[in-house]
Every structure is written in structure tokens, then in C-alpha cells.
Amino acid sequence: MSQKQWIAGINAVSAAVEHDAANVREVLIEAGAKNPRLTEIETAARRADIDVRRVATQALDGVVGGLRHQGVVARYAAAKTWSENELEGLIEAAQGRALVLILDGVQDPHNLGACLRSAAAAGATAVIIPKDKAVQVNATVRKTSAGAADSVPVVPVTNLARSLRELQRLGVWIYGLAGEADASLYSLDLRGNVALALGGEADGLRRLTRETCDQLVKIPMPGGDAATGVESLNVSVAAGVTLFEAVRQRG
């Protein structure tokens, strides 16, 4: 069985059972484990008619390889993602207050998971990722996201620039994060239909993405200079900062 068909860890499995039970095929729990959260997962899974088995620790280790499983794993049918064709409906349902996170080429599954976690906590309308040259929602992403991968719509798209133009057609203003930009994130009005575009770990926003954005802005960093060696934030940290500035304004 391919490791990609399994998710591991208490938060990841609990969220999968709660939010996406139809795609959970079975849950394996460490035999003899006393953690009450494992008992809660078992009860919830059985209530959702998901097969549950108690197995030896070695069996869990073998299923997930090097992943830390905390005594529970679940076999997944497929990662839950949304179609490009559903994006318009998501924007319209937000009734003029859409908040979209665009991730242009994030490679690290832990970063994507952390971004999804921030997006879910901020009540984001959707997270858009490219189908190519970027990490997709896999087992590591689901575990890192602590369930957010199942609660915020993730929309993989074939052509990111085309999708950005479609957002603009729907009345969404797109701000791209770039360290060399002149305007500050905190000078923006983020209360309407807004999309926040962040680039990948190595190169930031790609050229075509930059050119398609309505405006480039930066997160002011008074401590970021050559002396400290701090010139940019990790993409997941930047996502949290930008999303929650929008949340603050909308509050």
C-alpha cells in the first residue's frame, strides 16, 4: 500500500474522521494505548461506520514509514480538493468579502500544511495552488495542517495566471507579496474581495504572477537587514501575517 494513501497523527486523523469521513477507508489504532484522544477517535470513527482495527505499534510503523503516528493512522481514498470550475461559486458565496490565499510554487509540504492551517483559522474562502511545480495535498501536508486541509477549500489550477485573471473578472483585487515593493501591507484596505499571493520558498512570486497582480506590497520588517541576516519571512509565517491583517480589518 502506498504511503501517500495514509495519514498519521491524532490531529490529522481526528480531523479527517470529523470533516471527511466519506473518504476515510479505515483507522488503525495502537493496541493497548491509553490516550483518551485515541478512544475519542475510535468512537467517532465507529459512529461514522469507518472500519477500526487495533494493531501492534510495529504495524503502524510499517504503514507510515518514518512519519510520527502518535498511535493512530487512517487510510484515505483521496485528498479532498476543489475543481477550478468551483472557484466562481466560492467567490460569489462570500458576498463581497472573499479572502483568497494564492501560493505560487510552495515546495515544502510542511509549509503548505502550515499555510492551510492559517487559512482555515482566518476563515479563508479558498487556497489556490498550481498543479505543477508545487507540492500537492499529501499525507504530510494533511498532518501538518492539523485538519485544515479538510476544512478550507484547496483549488489546484492548471494555469495560475489565467486563474488570477478569472479572480479579477469576479471582482477580486489581488495583492502580491514582494520584499522589494514600495507599498506596505498595512496601507491596504483588505475588507472587500481580496486575494493575497505569496511565492515559493526559493524564488518568490514568478514573473507572470507578479505582472498579473493588481499591486505588489511588502511586510515591513524593521529588523530585516544585512546585519541581522533576516531579509524575508518563511512563506507560512508571511501567510499568517497577511491573512490576519485582513481578519483584523474585517473584525
SS3 168: helix
Greatest extent of the chain over all pairs of C-alpha atoms, in Å: 59
**Residue ranges at the known binding site for S-adenosyl-L-methionine:** 199, 219, 233
The C-alpha angle with vertex 247 and arms to 191 and 186, in degrees rounded to 5, equals: 70
**Residue ranges at the known binding site:** 199, 219, 233
Q: What is the secondary structure of 9-53 as a DSSP string?
A: SHHHHHHHHHH-GGGEEEEEEETT---HHHHHHHHHHHHTT-EEE
The phi-psi region of residue 22 (left if phi > 0; otherwise alpha if psi is between -120 and 50; otherwise beta) is alpha
Cell 492551517 maps to which residue? 117
Instruction: Name the packing angle between helices 109-121 and 235-250 (round to 10°).
Output: 10
How far is residue 188 from each of residues 15, 97, 100, 152, measured CA to CA in Å?
34, 15, 15, 24
Ranges of H-type helices in the chain: 10-19, 36-47, 57-64, 87-93, 109-121, 139-144, 160-169, 207-212, 235-250
- Alpha carbon distance 164, 40 (integer Å): 42
CA atoms within 13 A on the CB side of 241: 18
Structure-block grid coordinates of residue 173: 483585487
